[in-house]
Amino acid sequence: MCIKFSRKQHRKKTTKGMTLMTTQTAKRLQGKTALVTASSRGIGRAVALRLAADGADVAVTYQSNAAAAQEVVDAVVAAGGKAIALQADFAKKDEIENLYKEVLNAFGSLDIVVNNAGIAGNGNIADVDDETFERAVDVNFKGTFYSLRQAATHVSDGGRIINISTGYTHSTFAGTGVYTATKAAVEQLGLALAREVGGRGVTVNSVLPGLIRTDQTAPIADQYDTFAQMMPLGRIGEPEDIAGVVAFLASDDASYITGQYLAAAGGLVS
């Protein structure tokens, strides 16, 4: 685990070109702490950087790529923020429970949880083998359930719980059945939890990304242009598009929004 708590009073660009705001600028998440799962790359990375830019102290998690997670931490710290990197396999209940303990030990409280960890598990239903199916269920469904169970107990009053689902749950395609089913289950967990923790002012919502340019979708990069033509906005999404939606839901501006699905799919999902 790496913890760096220094601050600098100026703006600095990250390696991805994102500007992280400094303490000289009012930040709507100042004083908040956030846990973003699977945040060493892709959507999770963009979310961690955005929440940090908005003032939150961020716990970055990874399964195996410690170097990538450390790059995110270094980018946050270089811009004057606070971040830690923690390892966890989201198919393992004990590691998820320990993750929450480590975050609370480091920060003292937890205000925002973004459940981003997930794997594709793609393939036609007739062709998906047991190992692929079980791994998708373990990570996408069970892992998120274990995280939500911890969040329900440990997130502070007035906190935010945000699940990253998929637009496929509302506009599915052949070959995505297993992935879609596990994410749809997560959405239902979120709906129930919103009603269970609402009395503490905690909101629970799901973000439904469309096709996003990440290393997970890189195998179909040759089809990006084709998919872009299907989008009302005429382009596929970037990780920062999803990060902006998450940052809104994490803020006080979204305090009266709970138990909702918010599609960020360029207009393809309604």
Give the number of other Cβ atoms within 10 Å of residue 126's Cβ: 6
Nearest to 39 by CA among 102, 83, 97: 83
Three-state DSSP class for residue 4? strand
> Which amino acids are annotated catalytic?
179
Q: Pairing relation of β-strands 112-115 and 160-164?
A: parallel
Q: How many residues does the chain have?
A: 270
Nearest to 209 by CA among 44, 40, 56: 44
Can you list the positions of beta strands (E) in the chain? Answer: 2-4, 12-13, 19-20, 33-36, 57-62, 83-87, 112-115, 160-164, 203-209, 260-264
